[in-house]
Amino acid sequence: MKTLSLLTSDNWHDYALLDSGNGRKLERFGPVTVIRPESEALWQPKLAAKEWEAAHAIYEYQGKGENWRKLKPHPETWMMSYQGLRFKAQLTPFRHVGVFPEHGAQWDWVAEQIKRADEQPRVLNLFAYTGVASLVAAQAGAKVTHLDASKASVDWAKENQTASQLAPDSIRWIIDDALKFVRREARRGAHYEGIIMDPPAFGRGSQGQVWQFAESFPVLLQECRAILAPKPLFCLVTTYDTRASALMLANTLSDSLAGLDGTLDAGEQTLREQSAGRLLSTSIYARWSAK
């Protein structure tokens, strides 16, 4: 790897970054338009104030914390789609709506890796949240294991599987701590051709296990090496930890996959504004694919 890349997810119809600036971003998720904080957006907005004022909801500081303030009537839940898949969206207390649109480019890449497999590959999705990446992998033909420590997130992902009309047995659902599960899979002799993970900066497992990115991530990657198939297809890591860098992800992933013949690339995941065409950096990634 000689350079870092900027990935932009341009295949959306149900999402748009309408504008950004003054520490905020104006986004459309299907029929609902929202304003959310964005620390990267230090520049000035391009759209007129009336365009921002037409949003359905804004996430902002309220009293002792942050929460959504509704500005206009909108559905409590609604459906979105991507490349033939359907999934539920809603405003959550954590400023998210159930989908991270900047991952679209990664979903397309994962589907490409799976479709070039000679046989049905097994794919493990760790920290899988509401499961759009799991849906993408299953739609592309993989046998998917979806893991998250949150039962509510896994239940939401199951709803998305049903909405996308995927076969019930195309995804195996696991509620567990990622590191403990991977170690158990290694003892059982399980193997996966593809691994996807989006580890948080901080988190707790289903039994209170503490996750600290800087300490836990390298350990998890090393453990994942033990469950990679003899001829793996790919490994994808993304994170929103602001203390991490794409170079750090690339170097750590390269260490854990030493000896495997493949291609490694890394960089930033971005969204492109409709208003001015500016790129907004949202997160970082590193990924490896077999030659």
Tens-digit pLDDT profile for residues 56-72:
999 998 777 889 999 99
Question: Is residue 172 very low, low, confident or very high in pLDDT (cuts 50, 70, 90)?
Answer: very high
Q: 278: burial class by Cβ within 10 Å (0-12, 13-18, 19+)?
A: middle
Q: Supply the pLDDT for residue 61.
A: 83
What's residue 206's pLDDT?
Answer: 58
Report the predicted TM-score, pTM, of the whole model to 2 decimal places. 0.95
pLDDT of 35 above 70:
yes
Q: What is the mean pLDDT of residues 135-154?
A: 97
Q: Which of 190, 208, 210, 191 is nearest to 200 (CA)?
A: 210
Tell me what the pLDDT averaged over the chain comes to: 96
Give the model's confidence band at 209: pLDDT under 50 very low, under 70 low, under 90 confident, else very high: confident
Residue 253, both tokens: 């992933």
Average pLDDT estimate for 78-91: 98
The pair phi, psi for residue 239, each rounded to 5°, is -155, 155
**pLDDT class of 207 with cuts at 50, 70, 90:** low
Question: What are the phi and psi torsion angles at 210 (to 5°)?
Answer: -90, 135
**Residue 121 pLDDT > 70, yes or no?**
yes
Can you tell me whether residue 154 is helix, strand or coil? Answer: helix
- Mean pLDDT, range 183-199, rounded to an integer: 98
Residue with tokens 């230090």: 42
Mean pLDDT to the nearest integer, 261-280:
98
Q: What six digits make up the tokens of 262?
A: 């493949």
**% of residues, the chain, pLDDT over 90:** 91
Question: Does position 205 have pLDDT exceeding 70, yes or no?
Answer: no
In this structure, are residues 168 and 144 in contact, taking their beta carbons and an 8 Å threshold? no
- What is the predicted pLDDT for the residue at 4? 96
pLDDT band at 36 (very low <50, low <70, confident <90, very high): very high
* pLDDT tops 80 at residue 1: no
**Tell me: the pLDDT tens digits for 216-230?**
999 999 999 999 999
